[in-house]
Structure 1
Amino acid sequence: MSTVAPPETTVQPFRIEVPQADLDDLQDRLARTRWSAALSGAGWERGVPVDYLKELAEHWRVSFNWRQHEAQLNELPQFTTVIDGATLHLAHIRSRHEQARPLLLLHGWPGSMVEFLDLVGPLTDPTAHGGEAHDAFHLVIPSLPGFGFSGPLPETGWTDGRVAAALAELMTRLGYDQYGVHGGDVGAFIAPLIGRCAPERVLGVHVNNLVTFPTGDPADLAALSHSDKARLKEMKRWQEELGGYMQLQGTRPQTIAAALNDSPAGQLAWIAEKFKDWTDPASALPHDAVDLERLLANVSIYWFTDTATSVANSYYERFNDPAMWTPKPRGTVPTGVAVFTTDTSIRRFADTAHNVVHWSEFDRGGHFPALEAPDLLIADLKAFFRAVA
Structure 2
Amino acid sequence: MSSISSKITRRTVLASAAAAGTVGLFAGKTAVSAGDNEAIRPFQFKAPDEQLTDLHNRLLATRLPEKETVDDFSQGVPLKTIKQVLQHWQTNYDWRKVEARINSYPNFITEIDGLDIHFIHARSKHEDAMPIIITHGWPGSVVEQLKIIEPLTDPTAHGGDASDAFHVVIPSMPGFGFSGKPEATGWGPERIASAWITLMRRLGYERFAAQGGDWGGIVTNQIAVQAPPELLGIHTNFPETVPPEIDQAAFAGRPTPAGLSDEEKAAYEQLAFFYKHVYYAFEMGTRPQTLVALADSPMGLATFMLDHDARSLEMISRSFDGKAEGLTPDDVLDNVTLFWLTNTGVSAARLYWENKIAFFSPKGVKVPVALSVFPDELYATPRTWAEAAYPNLIHYNKVAKGGHFAAWEQPKLFTDEVRTGLRSLRKDS
| Residue 59 to residue 280, structure 1, CA distance change in 2 (3 Å) | closer
Structure 2 match to 1:160: 189
Matching residue within 219, 223, 233 for 2:269: 233
Count of residues in correspondence between the two structures: 379
CA distance in 2, matches of 1:348, 1:171: 33
Match of 2:103? 74
Which secondary structure does the structure 2 equivalent of 1:150 belong to?
Answer: coil
2:312 is paired with a residue of what secondary structure? coil
Q: When the two structures are superposed, what TM-score results if normalisation uses the length of structure 2?
A: 0.83
Higher mean displacement: 119-128 or 282-291:
282-291
Show the counterpart of 1:59: 88
The answer for the alignment partner of 2:370 in structure 1 is 336
Q: Which amino acid aligns with 2:305?
A: I
What RMSD in Å do the two structures reach over aligned CA positions?
2.3
Using a 3 Å threshold, how does the CA distance of structure 1 residues 196 and 227 change in structure 2: closer, same or farther?
Answer: same
2: distance between equivalents of 1:247 and 1:342? 22
SS of residue in 2 equivalent to 1:90: strand
Match of 1:285 in 2: 318
For the residues of structure 2 that align with 1:286 and 1:184, how far apart are their CA atoms?
22
**What's the counterpart of residue 377 of structure 1?**
414
How many angstroms apart in 2 are the aligned matches of 1:215 and 1:103?
30
CA distance in 1 between counterparts of 2:354 and 2:316 reads 33
Contact 1:280 1:342 in 2 (8 A): no
- Which string of whole-angstrom CA distances, capped at 9 and with x for unpartnered residues, describes residues 276-299 of structure 1? 624397776254431211110011
Matched residue, 1:263 = 297
Greater shift, 162-171 or 115-124, is seen at 115-124
Deviation sequence 1:21-62 (CA, Å, 0-9, x none): 110111111110111112344431110112221211121122
Measured in 1, the distance between the counterparts of 2:318 and 2:241 equals 27
Give secondary structure in 2 for the equivalent of 1:79: strand
- 2:387 aligned residue (338, 344, 351): 351
Note if contact 2:209-2:234 (Cα within 8 Å) is conserved in structure 1: yes
d(CA) in 2 for partners of 1:50 and 1:93?
40
Q: Any gaps of 5 or more consecutive residues in structure 2?
A: 1-32, 250-256
2:133 maps to which residue?
104
More helix by share: 1
Q: Is the 8 A contact 1:26 1:61 kept in 2?
A: no
2:24 corresponding residue in structure 1: none
Contact 2:240 2:389 in 1 (8 A): no
Provide the secondary structure at the position in 2 that maps to 1:148.
coil
- What one-letter code is carried by the residue in structure 2 that aligns with 1:335? V
1:364 is the counterpart of 2:393:
no
Partner residue in 2 for 1:251? 286
Q: Secondary structure at the match of 2:119?
A: strand
Among candidates 337, 342, 345, match of residue 300 of structure 1: 337
Match of residue 29 from structure 2: none
Match of 2:148 in 1: 119
Identity across the alignment (%) = 38
Hey, what's the Cα distance between the residues in 2 that align with 1:81 and 1:292? 32
Aligned to 1:183: 212
Counterpart AA for 2:415:
I
Bigger drift between 124-133 and 343-352 goes to 343-352
2:316–2:329 CA contact under 8 A, matched in 1: no
**Unaligned segments of structure 1, at least 5 residues:** none
8 Å Cα contact 2:172-2:179 kept in structure 1: yes
Match of 2:54? Answer: 25
TM value normalised by structure 1:
0.91
Partner of 1:203: 232
Q: State which of 139, 147, 154 in structure 1 corresponds to 2:176.
A: 147
